[in-house]
Structure 1
Amino acid sequence: MENHKKPKLFLVDDDEFFLKSLETMFLNEGDFEIETYATGELCLKNLYKKPDVVILDYHLDGIDKNAMNGLDVLDKIKISNVEIPVIFLSSQDKIEVAVSCLHHKAFDYVVKSETAFVRLKIIISVILKFQKIEKRLDWYREKR
C-alpha cells in the first residue's frame, strides 16, 4: 500500500538566482525530488512527470517578454490535471493578485519575503499529508 517515493516539486521562476536559491533550500531542508523551470512553457511540457506540487511565480517574462504569465500557466496546469496543487510564490503583494490566483484554483499564495520559505514548507507539508490520506482512502475503497 505504501509508496515511499520522494515527493516531486516543480519550481517555476524566471529569476535564475532566486530559482537556484529555492532549489537549494528545498534540497537541504527536505527529502524532495526537485525540477526547476525558467518558463511556464517548460513546466507545462514536463507535466507528464506528475509533480506532487508546483511552486509558480506570477510574472514569468524576465527571460522572454512573450512568455506566458503565471495565471495562464496555472490555468493550463488545471486543464491538464485539476488535482495538481499549485502554490504561487511572487513578489506581487497586492491582495487583488492573490485573490485572482485563488479564483484560478491556486492552492495558496505566498509573497516572496524572509519568511516565504518557512511558509512554503508548512503549506507543502499540509498538501503532502492530505495526498497521503487520499491515497490511503483510495486503497481502502479498492479493498472493500
Structure 2
Amino acid sequence: MNNETKIKIFLVDDDALHLKSLEMEFEELGNFSIETFATGELCLDNLSHNPDVIVLDYYLDGIDETAMNGLETLDKIKAQNPAIPVIMLSSQDKIEVAVQCMHHKAFDYVVKSETAFLRLQKIITMIIQQNKMEKELTWYMDRM
C-alpha cells in the first residue's frame, strides 16, 4: 500500500515502551503511516502533517513535569483543527475521566489494557468509514 492511501496516525504518549508497542502493532497492519510523539507540545508542532487520527495519552508528564497534559493538548488540537478525531488513551478506568475527555471533544476514550489495541483499531476503522461516507455524500449532493 502506498503512502497516499495509508491512514496517518499520530500516537502521543510519554511512556516510551507503550508508545513503541502501539507503533509496532499499527505498522504490522501495513495500512497506517505512524508518527510518534512523547509530548503534546511535539504533537502540536507537527499538526501541519495533517493526521487522520490522533491517539493521545491522558497523562503526559512522565518525561517533563511541566509538559501539557492530555486534556490541554486535546483543547489545543481542537482549537487548531476541530475536524481531527482524537482518541484519548489512559490507564484511568474511571467514568468521570472518560466523561471529562468527551466534554473536551474527544472522539472516544480507551482504557489501556490487553484489548486496547483492538479497541483502537475498531474505532479508527469506524472513523475512516465515517469520513469516507461523508465525502461520498458531499460528492453526491454536489451533483444534485
Correspondence for 2:75: 75
Q: What's the offset of the Cα at 1:11?
A: 0.2
Q: What's the offset of the Cα at 1:21?
A: 0.3
Distance in 2 separating the partners of 1:113 and 1:125: 19
Correspondence for 1:87: 87
Correspondence for 1:17: 17
Correspondence for 1:8: 8
Correspondence for 1:58: 58
Distance in 2 separating the partners of 1:68 and 1:30: 31
Give 3-state SS (helix, strand or coil) of 2:93's partner: coil
Segments of structure 1 that go 5 or more residues without pairing to the other structure are none
TM-score by length of 2: 0.94
Distance in 2 separating the partners of 1:68 and 1:143: 45
Aligned residues: 141
Q: What's the offset of the Cα at 1:30?
A: 4.2
Distance in 2 separating the partners of 1:11 and 1:65: 19
Q: What's the offset of the Cα at 1:136?
A: 1.5
Correspondence for 1:108: 108
Distance in 2 separating the partners of 1:34 and 1:142: 33
Segments of structure 2 that go 5 or more residues without pairing to the other structure are none
Give 3-state SS (helix, strand or coil) of 1:51's partner: coil
Distance in 1 separating the partners of 2:54 and 2:139: 25
Correspondence for 2:131: 131
Identity %: 65
Letter in 1 for 2:82: V
Q: Provide Cα deviations, 1:63-88, integer angstroms capped at 9, x if missing partner.
A: 10000000000000110111100001
